[in-house]
Amino acid sequence: LSAAPESVRAGGMVALIERKKRGGELDEAELRWICDGYLSGEIPDYQVAAWLMAVRWQGMSDAETLALTRALEGTGATLDWGGLERTAVDKHSTGGVGDKTSLILVPLMTAAGAAFVKMSGRGLGHTGGTLDKLESIPGFDVALSLDALRAQVRRIGCALVGQSPELVPGDGALYALRDVTGTVDSLPLIASSIMSKKLAAGAPVIVLDVKFGSGAFMRTIEEARTLAAIMVRIGEGAGRRVRAVLSPMEEPLGCTVGNALEIREVIDTLHGRGPRDLWELVLELGTHLMLLAGLAADEERARSRLGELRDSGAGARCFAELIRAQGGDPRVVEEPERLPSAPRVVALTAPEAGWVARVDARTVGDAALELGAGRRTKSDVLDLSVGIRLLAKTGDRVEAGAPLAELHAARVEDAERAGRALLEAYRVEAEPPPVPSATYEVVG
């Protein structure tokens, strides 16, 4: 446990709350004392709750946010990939509907010569997190010990696992308290939570996918830009190479929302048959990873290398190897029909002809939740087979009665209920919508 700093010996936790409340700053020793003391039970949760609300109120400078990140990182073990031949890379997405980029990037970047250890969560909401998606692959084990993880990365260069409870236990504890005290939506708390896990995971290269829009936690690009800048400065302050990509989350990423359905789309994409928007974002994030890891000399060469690795099947083979290493059935990569599938597939049809002007990501997510693809509460059990496949997205022409989407459901009633919700996500207009900009804003 951290020794109490002088300020704490003089005034205890109340003095630190008072200082934060008045807009002052805490230093790393003080924040370390709070994080360690909360974990050990020496600082009661009501004092930590008051401090969290004071942080939500007054914010934190870059220096204080970095100090909190370091303090959180220090609550547990940290990984060090310095002994590898490969450069370790990592990425994080702030989350969106249909986001399966990690599952494509991990094998592709490993094929490119990086080491990629991706720790993921389960998450609440629309669909499961990356872990749930992976568990739709028969046999896949996401719970590796740190020793098994290190051995696998030395052997095959990558791993896709759950957040280790040995890393940053303070973050989980603090997040649980934020969740019940109205202090989730604080940028420095969000940034330090994300970055503490990235720092502890040990990769010197980190690319952040910060999403904005109706289906994202950050509703506007301005908020996303602010969060991205904070996280990049934390990472750089901790000596990492970091870049953030701001990506829109107005409509779902790719065409599938639902755990096994998304794994199918990952496999399709690795085979060169994936949806364009998904592949574009993979290329964008992958390019920054390549450049920061020194695996490509410039952007153009990074992009073409990633294309080659896909087209040669190297990425797909790497995914199969990863699945085998973690106990899953690697045949799914060539035979995706081995993934669980829902007994009922019901089409949602367009009530009238026109151009799709919008497919609202959040509403699609809610419809997937109706089908059982996601969790409303932590104890909900997912149906990994159910979900939504979008057949028409923004900019597509549809005729009256033509299918807009497929609902993969356990029961016809579920499909009907979710179909009514999904129809609300679609806006069909008489004129084609403007073509959206295809470039991403990059921070760092």
Q: Which residues bind a second copy (CB under 8 A)?
A: 13-14, 17-18, 21, 44-50, 52-54, 56-57, 177, 179-183
378 an active-site residue? Answer: no
- In three-state secondary structure terms, 88 is strand
- Smaller CB distance to a second copy: residue 47 or 349? 47
In angstroms, what is the minimal distance from the CB of 10 to a second copy? 14
Q: Which of 19, 70, 100, 178 is catalytic?
A: 178
91 an active-site residue? Answer: no
- In three-state secondary structure terms, 339 is coil
DSSP character for 333?
Answer: G
- Smaller CB distance to a second copy: residue 27 or 45? 45
Over the Cα atoms of the chain, what is R_g? 22
CB 124 within 8 A of CB 375: yes
How many whole angstroms separate alpha carbon 23 and alpha carbon 19?
A: 7
Q: Which of 100, 197, 233, 288 is catalytic?
A: 197
- Smaller CB distance to a second copy: residue 21 or 417? 21
Instruction: Return the closest-CA partner of residue 217 out of 53, 120, 95, 56.
Output: 95
- Smaller CB distance to a second copy: residue 59 or 313? 59
In angstroms, what is the minimal distance from the CB of 409 to a second copy? 28
193 an active-site residue? Answer: yes
E strand or H helix that includes residue 178: helix 169-179
In angstroms, what is the minimal distance from the CB of 221 to a second copy? 22
In angstroms, what is the minimal distance from the CB of 238 to a second copy? 29
How many whole angstroms separate alpha carbon 207 and alpha carbon 54?
A: 30
Q: For the chain, how far is it from start to end, CA to CA, in angstroms?
A: 35
Strands (E) located in 178-300: 205-212, 241-248, 256-257
164 an active-site residue? Answer: no
- What are the backbone dihedrals phi and psi of residue 399, each rounded to the nearest 5 degrees, phi first? -100, 155
Strands (E) located in 296-423: 344-349, 354-359, 387-390, 397-398, 403-409
How many whole angstroms separate alpha carbon 278 and alpha carbon 432?
A: 22
CB 384 within 8 A of CB 132: yes
DSSP string, 162-177: EPPTTB-HHHHHHHHH
Q: Which of 36, 90, 171, 277 is catalytic?
A: 171
Q: Which of 32, 70, 86, 92 is catalytic?
A: 92
In angstroms, what is the minimal distance from the CB of 58 to a second copy? 9
In angstroms, what is the minimal distance from the CB of 46 to a second copy? 4
- Smaller CB distance to a second copy: residue 21 or 301? 21
C-alpha separations of 202 from 56, 87, 297 in Å: 28, 11, 24
In angstroms, what is the minimal distance from the CB of 17 to a second copy? 4
288 an active-site residue? Answer: no
Instruction: Return the closest-CA partner of residue 91 out of 297, 301, 288, 264.
Output: 288
In angstroms, what is the minimal distance from the CB of 149 to a second copy? 34
Instruction: Return the closest-CA partner of residue 194 out of 215, 211, 208.
Output: 208
Catalytic residues: 92, 171, 178, 193, 197
